[in-house]
Structure 1
Amino acid sequence: MKQFEYRVEDIQVQLKANKKFSEVMEEKLNSLGKDGWELAGVNGTVFYFKKEEK
């Protein structure tokens, strides 16, 4: 049976000049994805991630 580890992130984006919200969010989500985290759900600014335990 697969075992998962979970992570909760309250992601609030502060935009810098010449950066779009979508670009900032993509960078953050891609960074977590590279570390093996998979988006499992969203509730407002709270993002829930999971990854399989090794």
Structure 2
Amino acid sequence: MKQFEYKVESIQIQLKDGNDFNTAMTEKLNSLGKEGWELTGVNGIVFYFKREIC
């Protein structure tokens, strides 16, 4: 049976020097994805992730 661990993270993007919100958010989500986290839900600024435990 697969087992998962879960992560709840508030993500607030602070834009500096004309950075684009979409670019900044994409970079943050890709960073978490590289760690194996899969986005499962969003409620405002609260993001829910899961990843399989090996």
Alpha-carbon RMSD: 0.6
Could you say which residue in structure 2 is the equivalent of 1:30?
30
CA drift at 1:18: 2.3
Distance 2:44 2:24 in 1: 16
TM-score, normalised via structure 2 length: 0.96
Tell me if 1:46 matches 2:50: no
The count of corresponding residues between Structure 1 and Structure 2 is: 54
* 1:27 match: secondary structure: helix
TM-score, normalised via structure 1 length: 0.96
The one-letter amino acid paired with 2:3 is Q
**Structure 2: runs of 5+ lacking an equivalent:** none
Q: Deviations over 1:1-47 (max 9, x none)?
A: 11100001100110011211000000000000000000000000000
- Kindly report structure 1 stretches of 4+ aligned residues shifted beyond 2 Å: none
